Amino acid sequence: MDERIKKLAYNLVNVSCRVKEGEHVLIDAGTEAKDLTLALIKEIYALKAYPHISLKDSSISRALYMDCAQNQLRAMSEIELERIKRMDAYIGISVTDNTYEMSDVPAQNMEMANKMMKEALSYRVDHTKWVILRFPNGSMAQAAKMSKEAFENYYYDVCTLDYAKMANAMKALVALMEKCDKVRIKGKGTDLAFSIKGIPAIPCAGEMNIPDGEIFTAPVKDSINGVLSYNTPNQYQGVVFDDIVFEFKDGKIINAKCNLSEKINDILNTDEGARYIGEFAIGVNPYITKPMLDTLFDEKITGSFHFTPGAAYEEAPNGNTSAIHWDLVCMQTPEYGGGEIYFDDVLIRKDGVFVLDELKALNPENLK
């Protein structure tokens, strides 16, 4: 077995999920991730803990959701909730050979499924130790416009970097965010203002996502005003959205347009909370420098931030609830038009580079 897979499995079990003797761990994996699943089972047993396995395939999921019914989804949700309540930790490994596999599933079916599975998802996020990741394959290499071998080398660099060093470098930004009231973001097509006063800032350095590298909080729900133009494409429910522009008034998205304006508004009409923002986060992973239509990677891009319609996390609550949590990314590096972030009228990052001395440890040259 590839030694890199063994190292990744060790980190997922011992660092990300901090599994202890006697704990139950659910491994929710795509069928292509067989070697990693086997390595995880070995690591969990080495701790005298108990692995539980759920294997999935995107084509099977598509067939399931194409003609699903409400009572069926309710039963699935109840079963999933009962299972996750028995678990102490969760490791989710997503892998698919076709990122567009779900693109023709009826939108109302996906909306219904998201609503039904919300309770199980929320319980997993709030009450277990968890980590989610993608497993590298040809589809991901194509999205990154790389050969499979080159992408695998890149993947393991990204996923096994020195997260302890990153966690230490994040401390100054966390402290600054927790003192901040007013945030101002400027860039091409963007002039946005909001408050983060009183909402915790959470550093993410290898515990809940692999790859990792973000500090997130949430805006005060009704404080957002202005316009935000996202400049990276985003894939959601098997559909690619691009050139997204949101206009905000008192926290609510009052106007939304993109290459698929009707479809994006359907998503934002899922429920009342879908037109409010549940997360504001700053990406700092030094190895991730360009989008590849994979949210787990794209939201960590160094020099980026994401501004997320939908539910807030329990760790950084702003009162917003929704069936969706849609991480949409905006780049601020020079090749994407640049931009600035201000905290209480003080410039903290310009064109993707931190300018305050206490934050410079988060710049790419200092994290690699």
- pLDDT tens digits, 300-329: 999 999 999 999 999 999 999 999 999 999
pLDDT digits (tens, 9 = 90+) for 81-129: 999 999 999 999 988 878 788 889 998 898 888 888 888 888 998 899 9
Token pair for 327: 């991480």
Domain boundary among 159, 181, 205: 159
Lowest mean pLDDT among 62-66, 81-85, 98-102, 275-279: 98-102
Write the pLDDT tens digit of every residue in 7-48. 999 999 998 999 999 999 999 999 889 999 999 999 999 999
Please tell me whether residues 218 and 112 are part of one structural domain: no
Which of 110, 138, 159 finishes a domain?
Answer: 159
Q: Are residues 38 and 148 in the same domain?
A: yes
Report how far Cα 237 is from the mean position of its chain's Cα atoms: 14
- Residues 151, 168 share a domain: no
Domain end position, chosen among 159, 182, 197: 159
| Band of residue 258 on the pLDDT scale cut at 50, 70, 90 | very high
| The pLDDT of residue 96 | 81
CA atoms of 2 and 39, how far apart (whole Å): 10
Residues 233, 115 share a domain:
no
Verify that 109 and 232 share a domain, yes or no. no
Q: How many C-beta neighbours within 10 Å does residue 225 have?
A: 15
pLDDT at 1 over 80: no
**Which residues lie closer than 8 Å to 106 by C-beta, 6 or more apart?**
66
E-strand stretches of 230-290: 234-236, 239-241, 245-249, 252-257, 277-283
Are 285 and 301 contained in the same domain? yes
Q: What domain count does the chain have?
A: 2
Confidence check: pLDDT of 138 > 90: no
**Residue (of 239, 270, 232) closest to 352 by Cα position:** 232
CB count within 10 Å of CB 320 equals: 24
CATH code of the domain covering residue 32: 3.40.1830.10
State the average pLDDT over residues 71-90: 94
147 and 273, same domain (yes or no) = no
215 and 307 both lie in a single domain: yes
User: Which ranges in 51-147 belong to alpha helices (H)?
Assistant: 58-66, 70-85, 107-127, 138-143
Provide CB contacts within 8 A for 8, sequence distance 6+. Answer: 36, 39, 156, 159, 160, 210
Phi/psi of residue 103, each to 5°? -65, -25
Which residues constitute the domain of residue 327? 163-367
User: pLDDT at residue 140 above 90?
Assistant: no
Lowest mean pLDDT among 14-23, 71-80, 84-93, 157-166: 157-166
pLDDT at 87: 97
Give the pLDDT confidence of 284-296 residue by residue, as tens digits: 999 999 898 888 8
Determine contact, residues 73/110, Cβ cutoff 8 Å: no
CA atoms within 13 A on the CB side of 82: 5
26, 123: one domain: yes
Does one domain contain both 152 and 179? no
Partners of 182 in the β-ladder: 195
What pLDDT does 119 receive?
86
Give the integer Cα–Cα distance in Å for 174 and 176: 5
* Same-domain check for residues 176 and 129: no
Do 123 and 176 sit in the same domain of this protein?
Answer: no
